[in-house]
Amino acid sequence: MSSAEPNQPDDSNTVNDTANSAVNCNEKQIKFTSPMWRHFTYEEVNGTKRAVCKYCRKEITYTTKNGTKGMHSHHKSCKIRIGQKKIDDFQSQLTGKRSKTDESGGSILATHRFNYDDSRTDLAKMITKHDYPLRIVEHEGFRDFCQGLQPLFRPICRNTARSDVMKLYGEEKTRMMHFLESIQGRIAITTDMWTANYQKKGYMTVTTHFIDDSWQLQSRLLRFIYVPCPHTAEKLTNVLMNSLLDWNIDKKLSTLTVDNCSTNNCMIDLMVDKLPFDSLILGRSLFHMRCAAHILNLIVRSGLDVFGHGIEKVRNSCSFWTATPKRHDTFQKNAKCENVSCEKNLVVDCKTR
């Protein structure tokens, strides 16, 4: 919890139940009718009556004879209460003109109190949504921007940012698991492998597809997980099965869609053996679905083999002219001399896409 929002109440809060409360002391009922009791609590220690400040927890000796005189004196000089009041006033001045759009399309004015925890959550959402590096929270320019925008925001390090992102992921995962459990129908799974260009590491994506209660098709990416080499059928099966068990959807599956290759065929056979027989529909006959886009790609590539020699020349030419900046400039100059438009750059195709 931030220092801007201590547990103590501020002057604007009215605690009627405290003002009207009563305690029994020496078999005599004492009624707290003074407004000062909104800022103090009554305690009795070893027979001594005390009023405890709700802001700094300082104990003030209380007697029915002197009343709340000592409480009034401390209330005026309590540094924590005064500091909190200044912060509240400062925040109201900063955000009092903040506008929000109402349902009618107009704008309304609303005050907003700074909350450090909410700002940390918003920062974690920003990092994950826009793929910012965790180190951004340590950049001098970013910290200067935050300080100018809200001086009460305390900077964090990248390790703290990582913890906030993982906390956000855990909360979202829990919410999503409850949502998947509430689905009455079955869930279809699609999975594919992706290799990072620079790291040369393989990753598996696990995506769910289902019909919600409003009969709308929904898709959610559940896992993007690293798969160590070699990518055998057994290893792929273990990674995928652990993902399904982790999300508790292994008994709600309808189909599993994968690329049409021998490794995936073996993986499907292993998956069928691991899943409960009665959890799959029509005796598992519909469980294995081959990716239509991948099959279409195979058909097109087979048809292009007729023009393979010419296509290979074009592909090699694109690779040559895009290899270095100097070659690219030479190509642009030659095209301009021949009055050929070069609004788009040369791109080498991906054989698997």
Summarised one tens digit per residue, pLDDT across range 38-47 is: 888 888 877 7
Q: Once rounded to an integer, what is the mean pLDDT over residues 327-341?
A: 87
Cβ atoms of residues 220 and 176 within 8 Å: yes
Q: Once rounded to an integer, what is the mean pLDDT over residues 158-181?
A: 93
User: pTM for this one?
Assistant: 0.58
Which residues neighbour 63 within 8 Å (Cβ) at sequence distance 6 or greater? 49
Q: What is the CATH number of domain 186-290?
A: 3.30.420
Cβ atoms of residues 252 and 286 within 8 Å: no
Q: What pLDDT is recorded for position 210?
A: 93
Task: Render pLDDT for 105-162 as a digit per residue (tens, 0 to 9).
Answer: 555 555 667 788 899 999 999 999 999 999 999 999 999 999 888 888 889 999 999 9
Number of residues assigned to the chain: 353
Question: Residue 118's closest CA among 5, 34, 245, 232?
Answer: 5
Q: How far apart are CA 234 and CA 99, in angstroms?
A: 57
Strand pairing report for 22-25 and 28-31? antiparallel
Residues of the chain with CATH 3.30.420: 186-290
- Alpha helices, DSSP H only, in the chain? 16-19, 69-77, 79-95, 116-130, 140-149, 158-182, 233-246, 262-274, 292-304, 308-321, 325-337
Q: Once rounded to an integer, what is the mean pLDDT over residues 56-84?
A: 78
Poorest-confidence range of 15-24, 204-213, 231-240, 253-262?
15-24
Between residues 256 and 29, the one the model is more confident about: 256
Edge-to-edge order in the sheet of strand 187-195 = 217-227, 202-211, 187-195, 253-258, 288-290
Edge-to-edge order in the sheet of strand 59-61 = 40-45, 48-53, 59-61
Q: What pLDDT is recorded for position 352?
A: 59
| pLDDT averaged over every residue in the chain | 80
Angle at the Cα of 202 from the Cα atoms of 180 and 136, rounded to 5 degrees: 80
Between residues 181 and 95, the one the model is more confident about: 181
pLDDT > 70: percent of the chain = 81
The model's confidence at residue 209, banded by pLDDT at 50, 70 and 90, is very high
Q: What pLDDT is recorded for position 8?
A: 45
The model's confidence at residue 169, banded by pLDDT at 50, 70 and 90, is very high
Predicted confidence (pLDDT) at residue 97 exceeds the cutoff of 80: no
C-beta atoms surrounding 155 within 10 Å: 11
